[in-house]
Amino acid sequence: MNMDIIIGKEIGSGGTSNVYEYGDNAVIKVYKPHVSDGVINNEKYIGELLNKTTLDIPDLIGSIDVNGKKALIYERIEGKVIAESLLNGWYETEIGYKYAKLHFDIHQKSIIELPSQYDFLKNRILQLENIAEEERESLLGLLDSFPKDNKLCHGDYQPFNIINSYEKFVVIDWNGACSGNPIFDVAWSYMTLNSPVVSHVLGEKVAELFTNFNNDYINKYCALSEISKDLILMCMPIVAARRLYDNNQNDNEHTRIEREWLYNYIQNM
């Protein structure tokens, strides 16, 4: 890696990072202070694994030290995340359908070297604090009632992690990629866009577009996969537990707004 390259302007950010231009064709993902070395190393490991596949996603180019923390360098994708048009007040159903189809296509693949989704979700449930032991038992029972499966799952498929690059949708941010049952991957995506934080941060008008997008997504995904929406809704307590675990690691206004909403999924199991 050429060490003379300087970090350029910021082009995006997410829950874990700020992302900047890096040279002409790359970006650098600089992690926020709350993100542990373990999480960064895991993203690097997954990136190296996915580099070896034929998936049409940005290559992981390498890593460098930025202010004492590892930062990851990825191939740059031209375009804007698909959330951006929603934020600007524009949405049409075709976008939601295309997004659903892409998620469905990902779920037709298997990369069995990836971490096990089942083990990951089970650990999250076991590690979750502040729930009753009967609730924990019910969550584990619910998890076990679904087949484990070994399909490629993204882990955080949502409109801030898809770049619309000349009409082609390119999926980024694979740090939670795993091998497992697509139903939990879909339940996570659906839950994410239904969060009360969406209207809190973005206002009612944009939240309505996100709701339309989410409904088109789930209807199209169910049609393609022949999985019923009721079955996906049955997974909500599991993905709520996963999100509650994340929220407990990072106390801020948004995670506090979500907490009660997430507990409700578990209590109404």
Ligand X SMILES: Nc1ncnc2c1ncn2[C@@H]1O[C@H](COP(=O)(O)OP(=O)(O)O)[C@@H](O)[C@H]1O
Positions touching ligand X (CB under 6 A) are 11-17, 19, 27, 29, 58, 74-77, 81, 160-161, 163, 172-173
Pairing of strands 17-22, 151-153: unpaired
With CB under 5 A as the contact rule, the residue among 63, 117, 161, 195 that binds Mg ion is 161
Measured distance CA(53)–CA(174) in Å, rounded: 13
With CB under 5 A as the contact rule, the residue among 8, 12, 13, 14 that binds Mg ion is 14
Least distance in angstroms from the C-beta of 180 to ligand X: 20
Would you say 210 or 222 has its CB closer to ligand X? 210
Q: Are 75 and 61 in contact (CB under 8 A)?
A: yes
Q: How many residues bind Mg ion (CB under 5 A)?
A: 3
Measured distance CA(23)–CA(7) in Å, rounded: 8
**Interacting partner of 16 out of Mg ion, ligand X, none (Cβ under 5 to 8 A depending on kind):** ligand X
User: Which DSSP string do the residues of 9-48 spell out, in sequence order?
Assistant: EEEEE-SSEEEEEETTTEEEEEEPTTS-HHHHHHHHHHHH
Would you say 74 or 265 has its CB closer to ligand X? 74
Least distance in angstroms from the C-beta of 31 to ligand X: 8
Measured distance CA(94)–CA(252) in Å, rounded: 35
Would you say 60 or 239 has its CB closer to ligand X? 60
Could you give the angle at which helices 253-267 and 133-144 cross, rounded to 10 degrees?
A: 70
Give residues in contact with Mg ion (CB under 5 A). Answer: 14, 161, 173
